[in-house]
Structure formats: structure tokens, C-alpha cells
Amino acid sequence: MTTFVSRSAAWSILFLLFYGVIGASYTLAEESAGILEPGTTQYPNGGMRRMDAISFKTGDGNPWCALMDPLDGHIYFGTNNQNPGKVVKIKVGTADTLHQYVETKSLNGFNSDYFKGGAIDPDHGFAYFGSSMKTPGHVVRVRLDFNYAPALEEITLQDVGYPRVGLIHKQEGYLYFAADNTSSATGGRVVKIDIHPTRTFKQVQRITLPSGENSVQSGVLDEINNCAYFGNASGRVIKVNLGTGESGLEREGALAIGSENLRCALIDAQRGYLYFGSYVANTPGKVYKLSCAGTGMPILKNTLTLNTGENGLWGAIIDTDANRAWFGSYSNPAYIVKVDLGEGDAAPLRLGSLALTPNTEKQVLSAAGDLHNGYGYFATQPSGIPPAIVRVSLSQKSYIKGTRVALSEAADIHSMSFYSHKASGNVRLAIYSDTTPPSLLWQSNPVANTMSEDWLTVPIANGSPSSIALEEKEYFLAWQVDSNADVPSYQSCTLGDGFLIPYQWEDFPQSLSDKNAPVSTTEAWSIYLNYGDLPEGEAPTEGEVPSEGEAPSEGEAPSEGETPTEGEMPSEGEAPAEGEAPSEGETSGEGEAPSEGETPTEGEVPSEGEAPTEGEAPSEGEDEFALLYTGSNPIRSATGSRVEIKIHPVNPSGQVVYQWYKIVNDHDFQLLEGMDTSILRFDPVEEEHEGKYCCIGVDEEGSAQSPTIVLQILSSLPVSGTLILCAIAVFCSVFFFIRSTAQTSVPGTKTQ
């Protein structure tokens, strides 16, 4: 028996193969490579890392107070050395340089020793230290350049001993010291000192606090409300009005918030909150949060108790922009604890801690923050050896961090997406080769980060080079941020799939080698590449960036009664015909509430059934808010698969609020409940999901509408370009097989 093949059947099989593979693949959905799911801000150690440490010299004493000069990049430590008092000057470090010991100044010939407290006036080049071991007390003025021509100046305080807490009101030119006298019966003292450079350096006023308000340990100054808050050793917060000129210093009242020693204090005057850290030996520290806005007394709002071992809080740093604080513990080893201070009256939240080196880095005495570079300096008190000043990176700032991703096919990359948990500061993105050493392939310009709990997408055109095609390989996607806020989205990974490089905010290095050699980590980040192959010669879909020099076609008005075609915009102000959907970009009359189905006013998110407004397309070169869609349109997908439709905000002002709609009957806009991010996701997609969709985005200045995106449901899954080639190969094989059967006869049979 001889087998034969019907040519008509073969052609039928070939047609089905070709249609099922090629037809289903005619338009491909946007594809991505990287980590597409948001992670978390629960970073290892709260996002902190110990950088390095330097030691004092023998005989310098222990660093009881730390004064930061942000203008010149130096820290001045007052020590507990006696006869004479000493000030140690340290130069802050950079990403690739250690902080440096500059010199120690011994204040010989003055009544100066045991500098437990001080204050700094970098604008005029002076630091002030209180001599805390004598009565009467003394305050010494020291030039920041350590040049004593003219000579050092010192004043003797009248009826004030043990000056401990120093605060400066820069605008008024006055220094305030609160006393650390231990006699509860006599109460504490607060003294006002004139330090204005055009006036005489002298004490101008003093007040005595009531019994029980002695032993002041910490304090902060509120220039907005012209007052100061002091914490004492018995858990009281004392408010003092600073007055004007040489008078007006007055105690307003006190609030007992606990029984612990309030050893450190911070303030965010703009938000109207102050914070005290407590100290009790061998007891977890507490962070007290109080509201202090207005002229009344502060009110205790919330308390955070730290973990076991994080005992006694002595030194603290605050970043009011990021709404974060870092507390150093008086324990062995010392811990640096990162705290989210909370918005409004919300309780502070412990974000994580970093343990320093046992024995040699214990008992934090003081701290200073170099917030510009993202570092904190914590002064410790080891036993039997000189103190160590430990540098800690406070956040994800001052690093390049990268994640390894695999690109499964060669592709033209059109954008890069980075998940941001907090709209803060700026972001830079980059692509590096997975070679030794990694080489820079592309980097973005600095991008203002306006995204909170959403994806920040940067077109490749907004970087250098302005276009990039990548081979089927592995790459590293890298980023930088310039904020101490918790911006990037963390996920754990295998060692080597992530890297970090200490690095100051600037252009990415061309090669990750030498001082910029990467350190392998287990940290991955939510970041990915966006790409998609369009059939040769196909015009870009609506929302794509036109080729260089090409003007977008948006702006044409559709004919009356027509639904605007993709890419078209109706003429500004054109009214739709009765029963029509309002034209994109149209709004109701000024002051007039939109009727059902009308376009809402600018900035509104339309209710179900309303037609959302699409803002007028920006002219070429204008920086107007828009929603960009760079994927295929229409999208063809099979039931049961996963579909994501992603739009990208361009030039938003502040945070963007999203809402997705399904367009029914070409003019009714059906609100999709819960679809309020930049991604519309169907997992799995079903037949009822077929239709037209659009998204409305509202920022601080107005609104924008995405183009209409069509989703078509097929019986076959979309496939990649590789399978298209396979289909062509099958086509050729069947074709030649048919020809061969047509030309070959088997004896005793007929060829059909």
C-alpha cells in the first residue's frame, strides 16, 4: 500500500499554520525584561551600611558633642578633656575618600574643659562650647578655621553653672545655653548670649527654671515660633519663649512625658513636630513624638519603643525632607536605628537598625549628619582605646545599585521603568553590559521623581544615546537617587545578581572598574526595560514619540459624527453632535457643571458613564503633562494569558492619580473599579475583556488622557518573532513537499 498526500489538504494545513502563527502575531503586545512586580522598602538594615571609621588621637578625650559645618564639610567635636579643653576637627568623606582627622585645638589659658555641649554658626565662622565642670560656667568662641588672630574669646556666665545644651537663633544673632546643674532644689538655668558679629559678645539675660526642671540634657530651637524646647533628666519638656532683642526670655511651661532621661532631641518646625530620645541604662530607648505648632504647649502624640539591645539614645540626626531620623544607642555594640517619623500625628515607625563593631564601636555619645552626601557620623566611646568616629550611609543615596536582567531576544529598547515608593528628589537610570568590567551602554538624564507607589518610566530618547538596540544577552539595570527617602523598591536575589558602588550623585561612570568596581550583593530592585517589535513599515501607535524632526499628527479635528481615529485630536472647543461622545480635549462651559456623559472640568476624574477629558496635545518642544502609550495597538491575546497595558506619564507635576475606563458603544465610559495605577492588568484575560480602554491621569496642575487602546481576544497565543521564523520554515517545508508529491508518481497509483 502506498501512502499519498492530498495537495488540497496540505494547502489547508499550511494555511491554518500560517494564520494561527503569523496572524496571531501580527501585532505584538509591549514586552518587558526585568523585575516587573513592586517590591518593598523593608531594606536590609533599614537601607544603612557601615562605611568606615577613624580614631581620635590618644589624649583627645571622648567626643561629647558634635557640630556640623555643612558649608565647609567639617565636623567639630567638643571633648571631655580637662585642663585644657579640646576641640577635634574632622573633614567629612566622599564616596571614594575616607573622612579625615584634621587637627586638635587645645584651648590653653582659658577656663575651658569638659565640653559637653555647643552650637555652631557657620555663616559667620564660629563655634561655641560650654565648659560644663565649673561654677560659674564659661562659654568659649572658637574660629572654625582654628586661626586665633584675633585671639579666642571667652565669657564668664553670671550665676549659671554647667552650661550643657547650646542653641543658636541665626536670624536674631543670639546663643542660648541651658544648664546641667544636678541640684533639683535650685532648678535649671537658661542664659541668652549676644553673638552677633557687629555687637559685643556678652551675656544679656538669664532665667531660673522651677524646682525639678534641673539637669537639662537636650534641646531644639524653633525659629518659626521663636521658642526653644529643652528635655531634662527626669522626662520633662520645658518650653521657653526667646523674646526679642536683649529681653523677653521667658519660661512658658513644662510637660512631663515620662521618667526617662531625655538625652537627645530633634525638630521638624515646618511640619510642627519635635522628638526626644530617651536614655535608661540597659533599657531599650524610646522616641517621643510631640506636636509643637502654634503658640501653645507641646502635646505628646505617640511613643515608639525600640528593640532589645537598642538601649539608650544619645545622638540623633534628622532629615526633614525625607521625614526620617537616625538614633545612636549607648550600648555595646552601638546600634544606629532608622525611624520613619510618620506623617501628621501618626506614630514613628522603626525601619531597621545597623549594629556597629562590638567593643571598639560602642556607646554613641554624639552624632552629626552630612545629609547632602547621605552620611551620618557617630562618635563612640570604647574602653581603653581612642574613640572611633564611624561613618554610616543613611539610605540608598550615594550609591549606584544594579540588577541583572536577561533579554530573551534582540530588541530596540524604547523606555526603562523604575518603581518608586516615594515621590522625592531625582532619579538617574542606566544600562550596563554584563561583562568584566561592566561598560555603560545608556544613561538617562536626571529625572524629577514624581511617582509615589508607582512606576517612573523614562523614554530612551531622554538619555544618551537617544536610541539603543540590545542583543539577546544579560545586562545590568542601574539607578541612582539623590534623596534619603525610601524611594527604590527592594527584592532579594542570588548573590551576584545585584551590585552596589558607593558613588556621589553625578553621571554614571563609563566603566565599573578601579575605584568604581562593583560589590556583589543579594539586593535586586523593581526595574525593567520596555521594548516591542513592530512589523516593518508600520506607523508608530498613538502616544509614541515621533522620529526626530517629525511633527506629531495630533491636532486634526474629526468630521462631525465620526469617532476620532487614533492619533487624532478634535479641534479645541468643538462640541460633539447630539448622542456623540464628547470629543477628546473638550470641556464643559466655564462654571457649568457637566451633564451626564459630558466631559468633566480639568482635574476631575470622571464618574462612571462620563467621557473623560484628554488634554490638548502639547506642541512640539512643550513640557506639558501627557500619558504616553508605546505598546502595540491593537493588542491581540488569547484567553487565559496575562495582559498588561502600561501607560507612561510625561512631564507630570507632582503625584499622578490614575483611573482606567472601558469604552462601550464608542461613547460611554465605564469606570473600572480598582484599576487606579498606571498598569491595567488582566490575569487571566477572558473574552469579556475584549474592547477599547483608556486611562485618565490627574496631576497637581491638570489632567491628561491616554490614547484609546484596543484589546482583541484570539484563540491563539501571540508569539515572538522567533516563532514567526519557525512558521515561515514550516511554510517552505510544506510547499516543497507538495511540489515533490506533484512531480513524483508511484507505480500502480495515481497522484492526486
pLDDT tens digits, 329-355: 999 999 999 999 999 999 999 999 999
Burial of 578: CB neighbours in 10 Å, binned 0-12, 13-18, 19+ = exposed
Average of per-residue pLDDT across 351-378: 97
User: Residue type for 667, please?
Assistant: H
pTM of the model: 0.74
- Residue 605: pLDDT band (50, 70, 90) is very low
For position 293, what pLDDT does the model report? 78
136 upstream amide cis, omega within 30 of 0: yes
Distance in Å from the first CA to the final CA of the chain: 15
* Of 206-215, 218-227, 455-464, 528-537, the least confident: 528-537
For position 156, what pLDDT does the model report? 86
Is beta strand 454-459 parallel, antiparallel or unpaired with respect to 216-222? unpaired
- Residue 587: pLDDT band (50, 70, 90) is very low
More confident residue, 66 or 576: 66
For position 273, what pLDDT does the model report? 98
For position 639, what pLDDT does the model report? 86
* Of 158-162, 329-333, 454-458, 674-678, the least confident: 158-162
Average of per-residue pLDDT across 193-210: 93
User: Distance (Å, rounded) from C-alpha 612 to C-alpha 326?
Assistant: 46
- Residue 744: pLDDT band (50, 70, 90) is very low
For position 333, what pLDDT does the model report? 96
Cell of 368: 552629626
Decide: 288 and 303 in contact? Cβ < 8 Å. Answer: yes
For position 107, what pLDDT does the model report? 82
Decide: 80 and 65 in contact? Cβ < 8 Å. Answer: no
CB half-sphere exposure, 599, CA atoms < 13 A = 26
Residue 623 confidence (pLDDT) above 80: no
User: Distance (Å, rounded) from C-alpha 662 to C-alpha 709?
Assistant: 10
CB half-sphere exposure, 509, CA atoms < 13 A = 17
- Mention every residue, 6+ apart, whose C-beta is less than 8 A from residue 465: 442
Residue 555 confidence (pLDDT) above 70: no
Task: Tell me the DSSP string of 707-726.
Answer: PPEEEEEESS----HHHHHH
For position 151, what pLDDT does the model report? 54
User: Distance (Å, rounded) from C-alpha 242 to C-alpha 246?
Assistant: 10
Average of per-residue pLDDT across 646-673: 88
For position 482, what pLDDT does the model report? 97
CA-CA-CA-CA torsion sign (362, 363, 368, 371): positive
The secondary element (H helix, E strand) that includes residue 733 is helix 721-743
Decide: 237 and 273 in contact? Cβ < 8 Å. Answer: no
Average of per-residue pLDDT across 20-29: 44
Q: What residue ranges in 421-493 does DSSP mark as E strands?
A: 426-433, 440-444, 447-448, 454-459, 463-464, 468-470, 474-481, 490-492
User: Distance (Å, rounded) from C-alpha 47 to C-alpha 53?
Assistant: 19
Q: What does the angle CA 568 – CA 572 – CA 575 come to, to the nearest 5 degrees?
A: 95
For position 154, what pLDDT does the model report? 82
For position 577, what pLDDT does the model report? 40
Average of per-residue pLDDT across 156-181: 90
Residue 73 confidence (pLDDT) above 50: yes
More confident residue, 180 or 471: 471
For position 184, what pLDDT does the model report? 52
Cell of 548: 526626530
- Residue 253: pLDDT band (50, 70, 90) is very high
Cell 510631640 maps to which residue? 290
For position 521, what pLDDT does the model report? 97
For position 77, what pLDDT does the model report? 97
Residue 483 confidence (pLDDT) above 50: yes
84 upstream amide cis, omega within 30 of 0: yes
Domains of the chain by range and CATH? Answer: 31-43+398-531 (2.60.120)
User: Distance (Å, rounded) from C-alpha 482 to C-alpha 504?
Assistant: 9
Q: SS3 for 95?
A: coil
Average of per-residue pLDDT across 707-735: 63
Give CA 347 to chain center in angstroms: 21
C-beta neighbour count of 539 within 10 angstroms: 11
Residue 611 confidence (pLDDT) above 50: no
User: Distance (Å, rounded) from C-alpha 32 to C-alpha 30?
Assistant: 7
For position 734, what pLDDT does the model report? 53
Cell of 210: 522651677
Look up residue 682 and give its DSSP letter.
E
Decide: 153 and 200 in contact? Cβ < 8 Å. Answer: no
- Residue 114: pLDDT band (50, 70, 90) is confident
Average of per-residue pLDDT across 405-428: 96
CA-CA-CA-CA torsion sign (106, 109, 110, 112): positive
User: Distance (Å, rounded) from C-alpha 602 to C-alpha 420?
Assistant: 26
List beta partners, residue 405. 475
C-beta neighbour count of 596 within 10 angstroms: 7
For position 188, what pLDDT does the model report? 86
User: Distance (Å, rounded) from C-alpha 752 to C-alpha 742?
Assistant: 8
More confident residue, 620 or 294: 294
- Residue 186: pLDDT band (50, 70, 90) is low
- Residue 608: pLDDT band (50, 70, 90) is very low
For position 298, what pLDDT does the model report? 96
Q: How many helices (H) and strands (E) in the chain?
A: 2, 53
Residue 110 confidence (pLDDT) above 90: no
Average of per-residue pLDDT across 308-317: 96
| Percent of the chain clearing pLDDT 90 (strictly above) | 60
For position 630, what pLDDT does the model report? 80
For position 563, what pLDDT does the model report? 39
Mean pLDDT, the chain, whole residue set: 82
Average of per-residue pLDDT across 384-391: 96
User: Distance (Å, rounded) from C-alpha 666 to C-alpha 692?
Assistant: 8
